[in-house]
Structure 1
Amino acid sequence: MTSEAGTLRRLAVPVFLPSAVFGIGQGAAIPVVALQARDLGASVGGAGLVVAMLGLGMVLGDLPAGRIVARIGERSAVLLGSAVGAVGTALCLLSWTPVVLGIGVGMYGVASAVWALARQAYIIEAVPVALRARALSTMAGLNRLGTLIGPFLGAGVVYLLGPRGGFLVELVAVVVAGALMAGMPAVGSDRGGARAAQTMRSVLVTHRRVLRTLGVNALIMGASRASRTAVLPLWADHIGLDPTTTSLLFGVGAAVDVALSYPAGRWMDLRGRRVVAVGSLVAFAAAHVALPLTGSVLTLGAVAVLMGVANGLSNGLIMTLGADAAPEDGRAEFLGAFRLCHDAGSLAGPLVLAAVAAVATLGAGSLALAAISALGAAGMARWVPRRPRPDSDERRVRRLGSDERAVRRNPGRS
């Protein structure tokens, strides 16, 4: 336990804290993107397109992010991502047309992809396999905590400056997070031991079986996770709840989500990845089945909590599965491809919901997502190993401090 705490504590300032700061900025800005687009003259549809640029930027940035990290290392990659994110956020802050705003939002999405992959690659290098899921889940959970806090911290600035105030908070957060990440102690490729960069085509071809199986299930997980942010408020509106009540229900679910982050990582490390992956998607399926049966604040609140449990269990899961499956050669490129699977699902989930709801009903859309989640649970049960494979890099992991010898003498103590 002492070794575990010491290892994770050493990541607090260079990795975990920037993740929370980044989440605060994102949480402050996301609610005002559509409002700013409307203020600039965009139609409702146009505002929706501007909002979608964030996800599109992440999808477009995933594969290049893998190449960038492989070529210049984790620390240089986060600094590059910080620069791109700062420029994108500044464009949002100073935007004079919806097009400029959309470009800024897209650049921020690309930067988010670079940041996320660089931090993931850094943790893989800096933390032994026995603590991997805990470290990645902690990072993901703190980011979500920041996203939860961000709207409240940004509310005062938005009150004074209008929608642009949210982007001002985000710009400050980008700069602060970048400065904190610049202090990451060098490990792996940043210490001059970089592996030869692989071509993206060779990585995709060599590992096509993993991407066709585990990658497809990561896509389903992304769809299940993203769709909840659309289906829950839409159903609340459908049964006549006011926006304030809807926000409170969503907040309760988000609190459960954040609270489960570290326990989920610990369960993955101690009990294996499969049980958490399957449990998360089963919970998503159950929540989507139950949603059309709700008709009151109490019953919808129960579903919101169940969705929070499902999402909390999945905190750090996709990053952990990608890290476990990643090869030693071409690791960063593989991680970029694996993240692309998940992020593509995040884009597809709300689209599936909208398509089914358009031709049938919102309840039918929720049931369709339940079926997809159940299919993903079966896939996770089939393709996720009970335990991660032994990591050859464990012999050369650069531990951040004097606890290296303790962990290697007692690999089971965590």
Structure 2
Amino acid sequence: MSSCTTPLPLDSLRPLVFPVYVPTVARGIGMGAAAPVMTLRAVELGASAAVAGLAVALVGLGQVLGDIPAGQLVARLGERGSTIACTVVGLAGVLLCLLAPTVPLLCAGLLVVGLSNAVWGLAQMTFMAESIAFGRRARAMSLFGGAMRLGFFAGPFLGALAILGLGTRGGFAVQLVTFALAGALMAALPLPGGTAPPVPAPISLIGVTRLHHRILCTLGAGSLLMGAARASREVILPLWAHQIGIGAATASLLFGIGAALELVFAYPAGHLMDRFGRLPVAVPSLAVLAVAYCAVPLTQTTAALGVVAVVMGIGNGIGNGVIMTIGADVAPAAIRAEFLAAWRLTHDGGAFAGPLLIGALASAAPLALAAVSIGGVAALGAAVMRHYLPRYVPWPPRPAPAETFEERVIR
């Protein structure tokens, strides 16, 4: 994949289908296939339940750590070069997970996969921010998020077939194949537009933070809070289901229903953002999540928890792609990759910290308090977004005024 200097046609996203969306579905399938077996494989290798849970968290930690150098790597190598590099690294990590004879080696493999995910996501996001015309940006980003969710949704089913023949390693085998397929598709297919030379001296994450600390501390705070609110539902729903006596299979079904609704809302969310701006999507998304989390302690039956799961799925679905879109809006063209790495770090850091916060609260207080606390986090995120996001983005966009987008956000 190479950097484009000219936007794709405003009225079509079809040029992105094979270079971006199909590889993203493939990579999502790999992540979804491996997700259910990470814990099981660690237990098979002799890990305790606590250590197995920590092993799974290493993927998220690797992604957070990978965000730190990812901007400089993408700026130096370009999107195509960094995609090839992170595919090779990701395949090495998956292969290590597949063949690991001990828990430490499995943990190392999971961490490497997380590092690869960070560079992959940034390369995709940077390319779309550079090549998609503004009037189609939100739809392009929302479809990208929807493609990853579609793959993650389908992955466990393909993984289950492989597990029948290979045991728990089957999930990693599927991940190995899909990672290789995704990397090959993105590296081999040319994309429209010219090729821009790599930036000769990329700026470090610290340098980007110094230059743009105001926007990273304002809108970035909203991104962090949204990341925490989104990721926490993967912990709250199963834990609360267990507490009120709902079986694991039923809890998984409820979660799957919510995940399916996220896919349904992917494109409509992007259309709303392109038509009315980012604010009418970002704030309701967090507000709906806040209400759903606060309603969790009120549920005592499968049906009631199912309603909450549906509401959470809708809340997360209508915000699909909003963080990537806002990041593309505010990223300065001269250091786009480096800035987007810092921007992704805010969201990924929140997504990593959210479940940890629930774990800490649940160990010291009732689980209901943890659910309400995350609801408060989501509500605070909605307030931050409402204050710092522009109220309206015209569609089709009018010529940009002298005042920059960042200046309007900070004002």
So what's the TM-score if we normalise by structure 1?
Answer: 0.91
CA distance in 1, matches of 2:266, 2:223: 18
CA distance in 2, matches of 1:274, 1:257: 19
Q: Does 1:255 align with 2:260?
A: yes
Mapped contact 1:74–1:189 kept (Cα < 8 A): no
Q: What corresponds to 1:402 in structure 2?
A: none
Q: What corresponds to 2:386 in structure 1?
A: 381
Mapped contact 2:227–2:349 kept (Cα < 8 A): yes
Q: What corresponds to 1:200 in structure 2?
A: 205
Q: Kindly state the Cα deviation for residue 46 of structure 1 after the two structures are TM-superposed.
A: 1.2
Q: Secondary structure at 1:182's aligned position in 2? A: helix
Q: What corresponds to 1:183 in structure 2?
A: 188
Instruction: Indicate which of 319, 324, 333 corresponds to 2:324.
Output: 319
* CA 341–187 in structure 1, closer or farther in 2 if over 3 Å, else same: farther
CA distance in 2, matches of 1:365, 1:54: 23
Q: Secondary structure at 1:50's aligned position in 2? A: helix
Q: Kindly state the Cα deviation for residue 202 of structure 1 after the two structures are TM-superposed.
A: 2.3
* CA 301–222 in structure 1, closer or farther in 2 if over 3 Å, else same: same
Query: What amino acid sits opposite 1:79 in the alignment?
Result: I
Q: Secondary structure at 2:390's aligned position in 1? A: coil
Q: What corresponds to 1:404 in structure 2?
A: none
Query: What amino acid sits opposite 1:224 in the alignment?
Result: A
Instruction: Indicate which of 324, 329, 334 corresponds to 1:329.
Output: 334
Query: What amino acid sits opposite 1:375 in the alignment?
Result: L
Q: What corresponds to 1:225 in structure 2?
A: 230
Q: Could you report, residue by residue, the CA deviation over 1:89-127 in whole angstroms, capped at 9, with x for unpaired residues?
A: 000011111111111111110110001000001111111
* CA 199–156 in structure 1, closer or farther in 2 if over 3 Å, else same: closer
CA distance in 2, matches of 1:391, 1:347: 38
* CA 220–184 in structure 1, closer or farther in 2 if over 3 Å, else same: farther
Q: What corresponds to 1:154 in structure 2?
A: 159
Aligned ranges 1:25-64 → 2 under 5 Å: 25-64=30-69
Q: Kindly state the Cα deviation for residue 192 of structure 1 after the two structures are TM-superposed.
A: 2.8
Q: Does 1:171 align with 2:176?
A: yes
Q: Could you report, residue by residue, the CA deviation over 1:304-359 in whole angstroms, capped at 9, with x for unpaired residues?
A: 00000111112111111111111112111110011011111011111111222222
Query: What amino acid sits opposite 2:244 in the alignment?
Result: I
CA distance in 2, matches of 1:170, 1:133: 29
Q: Kindly state the Cα deviation for residue 183 of structure 1 after the two structures are TM-superposed.
A: 3.0
Q: Secondary structure at 2:334's aligned position in 1? A: coil
Q: Could you report, residue by residue, the CA deviation over 1:380-409 in whole angstroms, capped at 9, with x for unpaired residues?
A: 00011234598999xxxxxxxxxxxxxxxx
CA distance in 2, matches of 1:193, 1:110: 22
Q: Does 1:24 align with 2:24?
A: no
CA distance in 2, matches of 1:41, 1:196: 46
Structure 1 stretch 378-387 or stretch 205-214: which is displaced more? 378-387
Q: Kindly state the Cα deviation for residue 194 of structure 1 after the two structures are TM-superposed.
A: 4.6
Mapped contact 1:25–1:174 kept (Cα < 8 A): yes
Instruction: Indicate which of 288, 292, 311 corresponds to 2:297.
Output: 292
Query: What amino acid sits opposite 1:21 in the alignment?
Result: A
Q: Identity of counterpart residues, as a percentage?
A: 48
CA distance in 2, matches of 1:271, 1:295: 38
Query: What amino acid sits opposite 2:142 in the alignment?
Result: S
Aligned ranges 1:268-287 → 2 under 5 Å: 268-287=273-292
CA RMSD after TM alignment: 1.9
Q: What corresponds to 1:131 in structure 2?
A: 136
Q: Could you report, residue by residue, the CA deviation over 1:187-214 in whole angstroms, capped at 9, with x for unpaired residues?
A: 7884337575223332110100001011
Q: What corresponds to 2:376 in structure 1?
A: 371
Mapped contact 2:225–2:378 kept (Cα < 8 A): yes
Query: What amino acid sits opposite 2:341 in the alignment?
Result: G
Instruction: Indicate which of 112, 115, 135 corresponds to 2:117.
Output: 112
CA distance in 1, matches of 2:119, 2:393: 25
CA distance in 2, matches of 1:168, 1:29: 8
Q: What corresponds to 1:235 in structure 2?
A: 240
Consecutive unaligned residues in structure 1, runs of 5 or more:
394-414
So what's the TM-score if we normalise by structure 2?
Answer: 0.92
* CA 193–388 in structure 1, closer or farther in 2 if over 3 Å, else same: farther
Query: What amino acid sits opposite 1:46 in the alignment?
Result: V
CA distance in 2, matches of 1:346, 1:305: 20
CA distance in 2, matches of 1:244, 1:145: 20
CA distance in 2, matches of 1:324, 1:190: 22
Mapped contact 2:276–2:393 kept (Cα < 8 A): no
Q: Kindly state the Cα deviation for residue 151 of structure 1 after the two structures are TM-superposed.
A: 0.3
CA distance in 2, matches of 1:317, 1:207: 20
Query: What amino acid sits opposite 2:356 in the alignment?
Result: L
* CA 43–136 in structure 1, closer or farther in 2 if over 3 Å, else same: same
CA distance in 2, matches of 1:174, 1:392: 41
Consecutive unaligned residues in structure 2, runs of 5 or more:
1-8, 401-411
Query: What amino acid sits opposite 2:50 in the alignment?
Result: G
Q: Kindly state the Cα deviation for residue 244 of structure 1 after the two structures are TM-superposed.
A: 1.2
Aligned residue pairs total 391
Q: What corresponds to 1:70 in structure 2?
A: 75
Mapped contact 2:261–2:314 kept (Cα < 8 A): yes
Q: What corresponds to 2:251 in structure 1?
A: 246
Q: Secondary structure at 1:301's aligned position in 2? A: helix
Q: What corresponds to 2:216 in structure 1?
A: 211
Structure 1 stretch 103-112 or stretch 176-185: which is displaced more? 176-185
Mapped contact 1:281–1:373 kept (Cα < 8 A): yes
Mapped contact 2:71–2:339 kept (Cα < 8 A): yes
